[in-house]
Structure 1
Amino acid sequence: MKTSFKSKSILLLSAIVIAGCSRKKDNFVSRNFHAVATEYNTLYNGYNVLEQGREDLNNNYQDNYWEILPIERMTVTDEVTLPGQSTNNNFAKAEEKAIKAIQKHGMNIKGKEKNPQIDEAYLLLGKARYFDQRFVPSMEAFNYILYKYPASDKINQAKIWREKTNLRLENDELAITNLKRLLFQEELKGQDLADASSMLAQAYINTKSLDSAITQLEIASNATKSNDERGRYKFIQGQLYNALQKPDSANMAFEKVIELNRKTPRIYMISAQIEKAKNFDYNSGNKMEFLELLTDLEENRENRPFLDKIYYQIAEYHKTNESDTIAASYYNKSLRTGSRDNMLNAMSYQNLGNMSFDKTEYKNAGAYYDSTMLNLKQNTKLFREIKRKRDNLDDVIFYEDVAVRNDSILSLVNMSNEERVTYFTDYTNKLKEKAEALKEEAETAKLIAEQTSKNKNTNINSRGLEKTSTFYFYNPVTVAYGKNEFLQNWGERQLQDNWRWSNKGGVSTNQNVNASELTSTKDSELFSPEFYISKIPVEQKAIDSLMKDRNFAYYQLGLIYKEKFKEYHLAKDKLLGLLKSNPEERLILPSKYNLYKIYELLGENGEAEIAKNDIITNYPDSRYAAILMNPNADLGEDENSPEYIYETLYKKFKDQDYANVIEQCDTYISRFEGEKIVPKFEFLKAVSKARLYGFESYNESINYIALNYPNSPEGAKAQDMLENVMPLLSKSEFQSNEGSKHFKAIYQFTDAENEEIDEFIKKLNEAVSKIEYFELSTSKDMYNENTILVVVHGLRSIQAANGFGELLKEKKQNINREYFGISSQNYQIVQIHKNLDEYLKSL
Structure 2
Amino acid sequence: MKTSFRLIVVLFSIILVVSSCSRKKDRFLSRNYHAVTAEYNTLFNGYNALELGRQSLNESYEDDYWEILPIERMQIMEEVMLPGQNKNENFSRAEEKAIKAVQMHGMNINGKEKNPQIDEAYLLLGEARYFDQRFIPALEAFNYILYRYPSSDKINQAKVWREKTNIRLENDELAIENLKELLEEADAIEGQDLADATSMLAQAYINTKSLDSAITQLEIAAQNTKSHDERGRYRFIQGQLYNELGKKDSANYAFDKIIELNRRTPRVYLINAHIQKAKNFNYDDGNKLEFLELLTDLEKNRENRPFLDKIYHQIGEYHMINGSDSLALANYNKSLRTNSRDKKLKARNYEILGDYEFDYANYKIAGAYYDSTMLNMEKNKKPYRIIKRKRDNLEDVIYYEDVAKATDSILTLVAMSDDERLAYFEAFTTELKAQAEEEKEKQKSVERQQGLATVNNDIKGKSSRGMTPSGKESSFYFYNSTTVAYGKNEFVRIWGDRPLEDDWRWSSKRSTKNNNTNLGQLATADTDSETFDPNYYIEQLPQDDKVIDSIAKERNFAYYQLGVIYKEKFKEYQLSKDKFLSLLDNNPEEKLILPSKYNLYKIYEVLNQQDEASIAKNDIITNYPESRYAKILLNPEQANLKDENSPESIYQNLYKELSNQNYQFIIDECDDKITLFQGDPMVPKFELLKALAIGRLNGFQEYSKAINYVALNYANTPEGIEAQNIVDEVLPALKDDTFTDAEDENSFKVVYYFNKTKDEEVVANFKTALNEQIKEVKVFNLKTSLDVYNSNTTFVVVHGLTSFDGANGYALSLQEQKENKIIHQYFITSSTNYRTIQIHKNLETYLELQINNN
Structure 1 and Structure 2 fold alike (TM over 0.5)? yes
Corresponding letter in the other structure for 1:470: T
- Shift of the 293–462 alpha-carbon distance from structure 1 to 2, 3 Å rule, reads farther
Please name the residue that 1:487 is paired with: none
**C-alpha distance in structure 1 between counterparts of 2:117 and 2:461, whole Å:** 68
2:143 aligned with 1:143: yes
Q: Deviations over 1:166-185 (max 9, x none)?
A: 11111222222222221122
- Shift of the 114–710 alpha-carbon distance from structure 1 to 2, 3 Å rule, reads same
Contact map agreement 2:666 2:693 (CA 8 A) in 1: no
2:267 aligned with 1:258: no
Alpha-carbon offset, residue 203 of structure 1: 1.6
Contact map agreement 2:594 2:620 (CA 8 A) in 1: no
Matched residues, percent identical? Answer: 47
2:310 aligned with 1:291: no
Q: Deviations over 1:316-356 (max 9, x none)?
A: 33333333334333333333333222212222222232233
Please name the residue that 1:469 is paired with: 482
Corresponding letter in the other structure for 1:120: E
Please name the residue that 1:525 is paired with: 535
Please name the residue that 1:49 is paired with: 49
1:138 is paired with a residue whose SS is helix
**C-alpha distance in structure 1 between counterparts of 2:633 and 2:827, whole Å:** 47
Alpha-carbon offset, residue 102 of structure 1: 1.8
Please name the residue that 2:469 is paired with: none
Please name the residue that 2:434 is paired with: 437
Please report the RMSD computed on the Cα atoms of aligned residues, expressed in angstroms: 5.7
**C-alpha distance in structure 2 between counterparts of 1:229 and 1:444, whole Å:** 56
2:41 aligned with 1:34: no
2:562 aligned with 1:553: yes
Q: Deviations over 1:538-578 (max 9, x none)?
A: 9767645643442133112322213xxxx676567667877
Contact map agreement 2:101 2:118 (CA 8 A) in 1: yes
Aligned length, in residue pairs? 735
Please name the residue that 1:345 is paired with: 346
1:653 is paired with a residue whose SS is coil
- Shift of the 229–3 alpha-carbon distance from structure 1 to 2, 3 Å rule, reads farther
Contact map agreement 2:786 2:797 (CA 8 A) in 1: no
2:678 aligned with 1:678: no
Q: How does 1:211-290 map to 2 (within 5 A)?
A: 211-290=212-291
Q: How does 1:659-670 map to 2 (within 5 A)?
A: 662-663=668-669, 666-667=672-673, 670=676
**C-alpha distance in structure 2 between counterparts of 1:605 and 1:555, whole Å:** 19
- Shift of the 456–185 alpha-carbon distance from structure 1 to 2, 3 Å rule, reads closer
**C-alpha distance in structure 2 between counterparts of 1:270 and 1:645, whole Å:** 66
Q: How does 1:185-584 map to 2 (within 5 A)?
A: 185-187=185-187, 188-405=189-406, 424=421, 427-435=424-432, 437-438=434-435, 461-462=458-459, 469-471=482-484, 497=509, 523-526=533-536, 534=543, 543=552, 546-562=555-571, 583-584=592-593
Alpha-carbon offset, residue 580 of structure 1: 8.4
Contact map agreement 1:449 1:481 (CA 8 A) in 2: no
Corresponding letter in the other structure for 1:80: V
**C-alpha distance in structure 1 between counterparts of 2:241 and 2:794, whole Å:** 73
- Shift of the 823–421 alpha-carbon distance from structure 1 to 2, 3 Å rule, reads same
Contact map agreement 2:631 2:639 (CA 8 A) in 1: no
> TM-score, normalised to structure 1's length?
0.71
Contact map agreement 1:135 1:169 (CA 8 A) in 2: yes
Please name the residue that 1:840 is paired with: none
Contact map agreement 1:406 1:547 (CA 8 A) in 2: no
- Shift of the 382–470 alpha-carbon distance from structure 1 to 2, 3 Å rule, reads same
Corresponding letter in the other structure for 1:525: N
**C-alpha distance in structure 2 between counterparts of 1:426 and 1:386, whole Å:** 45
Contact map agreement 2:450 2:485 (CA 8 A) in 1: no
Contact map agreement 1:237 1:250 (CA 8 A) in 2: yes
Contact map agreement 1:352 1:365 (CA 8 A) in 2: yes
**Which has the higher mean CA deviation after the structures are superposed, 293-302 or 699-708?**
699-708
**C-alpha distance in structure 2 between counterparts of 1:811 and 1:789, whole Å:** 26
Q: Deviations over 1:631-662 (max 9, x none)?
A: xx9xxxx99367644421213435x8x66884
Please name the residue that 2:504 is paired with: none
Contact map agreement 1:399 1:554 (CA 8 A) in 2: no
Alpha-carbon offset, residue 207 of structure 1: 1.8
Contact map agreement 1:781 1:788 (CA 8 A) in 2: no
2:483 is paired with a residue whose SS is coil
Q: How does 1:699-738 map to 2 (within 5 A)?
A: none
**Which has the higher mean CA deviation after the structures are superposed, 577-586 or 355-364?**
577-586
Corresponding letter in the other structure for 1:554: G
- Shift of the 402–27 alpha-carbon distance from structure 1 to 2, 3 Å rule, reads same
- Shift of the 524–78 alpha-carbon distance from structure 1 to 2, 3 Å rule, reads closer
**C-alpha distance in structure 2 between counterparts of 1:623 and 1:134, whole Å:** 75
- Shift of the 241–283 alpha-carbon distance from structure 1 to 2, 3 Å rule, reads same
Q: Deviations over 1:234-259 (max 9, x none)?
A: 22222222222222322222222122
**C-alpha distance in structure 1 between counterparts of 2:119 and 2:790, whole Å:** 85
Contact map agreement 2:674 2:687 (CA 8 A) in 1: no
Corresponding letter in the other structure for 2:316: A
**C-alpha distance in structure 1 between counterparts of 2:449 and 2:150, whole Å:** 84
Alpha-carbon offset, residue 63 of structure 1: 0.9
Contact map agreement 1:130 1:138 (CA 8 A) in 2: yes
**C-alpha distance in structure 1 between counterparts of 2:211 and 2:618, whole Å:** 59
- Shift of the 261–289 alpha-carbon distance from structure 1 to 2, 3 Å rule, reads same
Contact map agreement 2:198 2:218 (CA 8 A) in 1: yes
Contact map agreement 1:575 1:595 (CA 8 A) in 2: no
**C-alpha distance in structure 2 between counterparts of 1:66 and 1:783, whole Å:** 50
**C-alpha distance in structure 1 between counterparts of 2:217 and 2:787, whole Å:** 75
2:152 aligned with 1:162: no
Q: Deviations over 1:355-379 (max 9, x none)?
A: 3333433333223222222222222
Please name the residue that 2:120 is paired with: 120
**C-alpha distance in structure 2 between counterparts of 1:526 and 1:299, whole Å:** 53
**Which has the higher mean CA deviation after the structures are superposed, 538-547 or 261-270?**
538-547
- Shift of the 98–231 alpha-carbon distance from structure 1 to 2, 3 Å rule, reads same
1:360 is paired with a residue whose SS is coil
Of 648, 660, 678, the residue aligned with 2:656 is 648
Corresponding letter in the other structure for 1:176: I
Corresponding letter in the other structure for 2:659: K
Of 589, 594, 597, the residue aligned with 1:585 is 594
**C-alpha distance in structure 2 between counterparts of 1:701 and 1:268, whole Å:** 50
**C-alpha distance in structure 1 between counterparts of 2:789 and 2:21, whole Å:** 97
1:39 is paired with a residue whose SS is helix
Corresponding letter in the other structure for 1:26: D
- Shift of the 130–248 alpha-carbon distance from structure 1 to 2, 3 Å rule, reads same
**Which has the higher mean CA deviation after the structures are superposed, 137-146 or 467-476?**
467-476
**Which has the higher mean CA deviation after the structures are superposed, 760-769 or 80-89?**
760-769
**C-alpha distance in structure 2 between counterparts of 1:233 and 1:792, whole Å:** 67
**C-alpha distance in structure 2 between counterparts of 1:790 and 1:208, whole Å:** 54
1:462 is paired with a residue whose SS is helix
- Shift of the 579–207 alpha-carbon distance from structure 1 to 2, 3 Å rule, reads farther
Gaps of 5+ in 1: 485-494, 508-518, 726-740, 797-803, 814-818, 833-843
Alpha-carbon offset, residue 62 of structure 1: 0.7
Contact map agreement 1:472 1:479 (CA 8 A) in 2: no
Alpha-carbon offset, residue 223 of structure 1: 0.9
1:120 is paired with a residue whose SS is helix
Q: How does 1:55-204 map to 2 (within 5 A)?
A: 55-187=55-187, 188-204=189-205
Corresponding letter in the other structure for 2:535: E
